[in-house]
Amino acid sequence: MARTIPSRHGDDAGRSTRYGNVVPIRRLPDQLVNQIAAGEVVERPASALKELVENAIDAGARRIVVELAAGGVDYLSVADDGSGMDAAQMRLAVERHATSKLPDGDLSAIATLGFRGEALPSIASVARLTLASRTPAGDGWTLSIDHGRVTGDGPVARGAGTTVTVEGLFAQVPARRKFLKSERSELAACVDVVRRLAMATPGVAFELRHDGRRLLVADAVAGELALPARLAALLGADFGDNAVPIDLNRDELSLGGLAGLPTFSRGVADHQFLFVNRRPVRDRLLVGAVRGAYQDLLARDRHPVVALFLDVPADFVDVNVHPAKTEVRFRDAALVRGMIVSGLRRALDAAGHRASTTVAVGALVAFAPGPVLDAAAYAPSFPPQSLGPGVSDHAPAWFAPAARTEAPAAMNGFPMGVARAQVAGTYIVAETPDGMILVDQHAAHERLTLERMKAARAGGRIAAQALLLPQVVEVDENAASHLVEHAAAFAALGLDLEGFGPKAVLVRATPALLGQVDATALVRDLADDLAAFDAAPGLAERLDAVAATMACHGSVRAGRTLSVTEMNALLREMEVTPHSGQCNHGRPTWVRLARTDLEKLFGRR
């Protein structure tokens, strides 16, 4: 047995290893090299599956069928009708660094998903791998490898194309096997991998079965609408209905796909599908750019749903930077980032005050099985002052004079309609030309305040309103130094603060357009923002987050009674304000019930 610790008696201390470098360097055996590579390439069934499906796509398959058992751990196979391999090619294919995909040996012009010649030998070193294949003109052949050893090599009768089977992944590598998760989450990862590859290749038909059950099916689609059709098949028609198309070209770069409306957001970031030259990636730069684009449209714990396809010249991107080929490096990262942020923003801006359709549909369901209602119990309460004309005593400072309007006599030209009532001190009921809408006053107002702050910021400084008495806000040391460090940026937003000992700041003025705010609560939330967005790349994005927090503090709260005039002013402002369909946290600010919906509810249709 080799010793690694010097003997106390010194008999073999001269050859020992721990402190000296006398151990001879030796080449590792192939099987070990492959296992080490597998450590990077094959982390779980889903990563093996990804490699096999990529190979099938690279082989020009028109149809790919995936079979799994026990989450892919016990069994996974990928059958394709692609170019196939003959016996000699197959033997080469399972050798390390053997690939057909770099004909010119040029790593800067990679047009295929694979290029390293590493996947098959890596998988074969940690499982039982069987290849069965036939080229259109040749005979069928099969080759089996068990943890690196050839166990079968002979003819087989089969159709053109290739089937690769992987059994007992990590069965003999307990150190890796114990890191596998539950069958369910391994399966989920497998489905995710296939879904992503299928999204990028609408011309290829896909089918995935687990223990005989079909979990994913996508027919091949061609033509101009192939991509939207494929996205709808894999992500649901809902997504298409609640997303805006992206189509942007800059220099030799192009960005396409769909960006979900903020109201269609999710609680996890799993629904972001990003592709570079049709290669699914989970690149940090791209994820950050998407986050940046949605920053002031979504709360921090909400994530947009996007399917974005970035196409760039092959030499603009290095795909050889990550063992699983899921990250890339761009020649000009700032250009890519800018393109994504501005492309998404512009498209979302154009979506205007659109809110997600699914919200209204969901709410309607609640109405649907109409029991016999006690009409009185459901009648909206009309706040007394809402019946009188003019502005109530509660007229908030936040309505710009220009936005004050009397209730319009005719509704034409007012898509958000005419305010009729306020319900629960929270919702505005408005009658529109074709039905009615309900507006969440706090959510809506928060968005309006934020958009005003953004406009004011674009036009220079935001006016500050000095506090009668400067206010001391106690925070922890970290937060205090963060806040002071960004004092100049806050000042530009109308918030004047300065250091006040190690654990407090002194607030002298708050942004005028927020009206009366609780400076303590505002400053503490801003400190949280700074901590959370410390990693945000640009000052502009950080300021967006800060502005969103401020807007939330400056907004009319739920529960506050509004006059008809105030309600109408809010509606008019929503009509002309970008993004007014969702609050800064991505919730809808209003929902609509069309007259036809009402008629259906009452059985008139």
Ligand X SMILES: Nc1ncnc2c1ncn2[C@@H]1O[C@H](COP(=O)(O)OP(=O)(O)OP(=O)(O)O)[C@@H](O)[C@H]1O
**Separation CA 585–CA 548 (nearest Å):** 9
Candidates 494, 478, 475; CA nearest to 546 is: 494
> Nearer to ligand X by C-beta: 84 or 260?
84
Tell me if 162 contacts ligand X by CB under 6 A.
yes
**Sole window of 117-125, 180-188, 357-365, 515-523 interacting with ligand X (rule: CB under 6 A):** 117-125
Cβ neighbours of residue 459 closer than 8 Å, sequence gap 6 or more: none
Q: What is the DSSP string of 483-550?
A: HHHTHHHHHHTT-EEEE-STTEEEEEEEEGGG-S--HHHHHHHHHHHHHHTTT-S-HHHHHHHHHHHH
| CB distance 579 to 451 below 8 Å | yes
The dihedrals phi and psi of 75, each to the nearest 5 degrees, come to -155, 135
Q: Which is nearer to ligand X, 58 or 186 (CB)?
A: 58
Which residues, numbered 12-51, are part of the site for ligand X (CB under 6 A)? 51
- In whole angstroms, how close is the CB of 207 to ligand X at the nearest point? 16
Angle at 535 between CA 514 and CA 581, to 5 degrees: 45
**Taking contact as CB under 6 A, which single stretch among the options 113-121, 175-183, 188-196, 567-575 is the one that binds ligand X?**
113-121
Smallest distance from the beta carbon of 114 to Mg ion, in angstroms?
3
Stretch near ligand X under the rule CB under 6 A, chosen from 96-104, 327-335, 514-522, 530-538: 96-104
Q: How far is the CB of 272 from ligand X (least distance, A)?
A: 24
CB of 101 to Mg ion, least distance (A): 8
Give the CA distances from residue 12 to residues 18, 24, 575, in Å, rounded to whole numbers and listed in that order: 12, 15, 86
> Interface with ligand X by CB under 6 A: which range of 79-87, 212-220, 512-520, 554-562?
79-87
Binding residue for ligand X (CB under 6 A) from 116, 302, 337, 579?
116
Which residue, 238 or 318, is less far from Mg ion as judged by CB?
A: 318
Contact 552, 491 (CB under 8 A): no
What type of residue is 230?
Answer: R
Tokens 């603060």: give the residue. Answer: 497
Q: Which stretch binds ligand X (CB under 6 A): 83-91, 433-441, 455-463, 515-523?
A: 83-91
Shortest reach from residue 228's CB to ligand X, in Å: 28
Q: Is 85 in the site for ligand X (CB under 6 A)?
A: yes
**Whole-number minimum distance, CB 96 to Mg ion, in Å?**
12
**Measured distance CA(276)–CA(281) in Å, rounded:** 7
- The 326-365 site mask, x for binding ligand X (CB under 6 A), equals ----------------------------------------
Q: Between 162 and 242, whose beta carbon lies closer to ligand X? A: 162
Figure out which of the listed residues 37, 46, 49, 115 binds ligand X, where binding follows CB under 6 A.
115
Is 264 near ligand X (CB under 6 A)?
A: no
**34 vs 568, beta carbon nearer ligand X:** 34
Query: Which one of the spans 118-126, 165-173, 265-273, 499-507 is the region binding ligand X (CB under 6 A)?
Result: 118-126
> Which two structure tokens, joined as six digits, stand for 589?
């600010």
Nearest to 132, CA basis, from 111, 161, 167: 161
- Among positions 431-490, residues that touch ligand X (CB under 6 A) are none
Query: Residue 275 carries which DSSP code?
Result: E
Judged by CB under 6 A, the residue of 16, 100, 520, 561 near ligand X is: 100
Task: Answer yes or no whether residue 404 interacts with ligand X by CB under 6 A.
Answer: no
Buried b (16+ CB within 10 A) or exposed e, 231-257: bbbbbeebbbebbbebebeeeebbbbb
How many distinct helices (H) and strands (E) make up the chain?
A: 20, 22
Kindly give the residue spans of alpha helices, DSSP state H, lying in 295-367. 333-350, 357-367
Which is nearer to Mg ion, 49 or 462 (by Cβ)?
Answer: 49
| Smallest distance from ligand X to CB 83, Å | 5
Which residues are CB-contacts of 255 (< 8 A; sequence separation ≥ 6)?
246, 247, 248, 249, 308, 309, 310, 311, 339, 340, 343
Shortest Å, Cβ 115 to ligand X:
5
Q: How far is the CB of 133 from Mg ion (least distance, A)?
A: 14
Binding site for Mg ion (CB under 5 A): 55, 114, 119
- Piece of 63-71, 93-101, 267-275, 296-304 that binds ligand X (CB under 6 A): 93-101
Residue 63 lies near ligand X (rule: CB under 6 A): no
Instruction: Report helix angle 519-532 to 477-485, nearest 10.
Output: 90
Q: Judged by CB, which is closer to ligand X: 99, or 272?
A: 99
Candidate list 63, 91, 101, 600; residue touching ligand X; CB under 6 A = 101
- Identified binder of ligand X from the candidate list 35, 47, 77, 99, rule CB under 6 A: 99
Specify the amino acid at residue 76: L
Residue nearest to ligand X (CB): 114
430 - beta bridge partners? 419, 437
One residue of 48, 49, 56, 526 binding ligand X per CB under 6 A? 56
Q: What whole-number distance in Å separates Cα of residue 553 and Cα of residue 559?
A: 15
Contact 168, 177 (CB under 8 A): no
135 forms part of the interface with ligand X (CB under 6 A): no
- Backbone phi, psi, residue 259, to 5°: -120, 120
Binding residues for ligand X, per CB under 6 A? 51, 55-56, 59, 80, 82-85, 93, 99-101, 114-120, 162
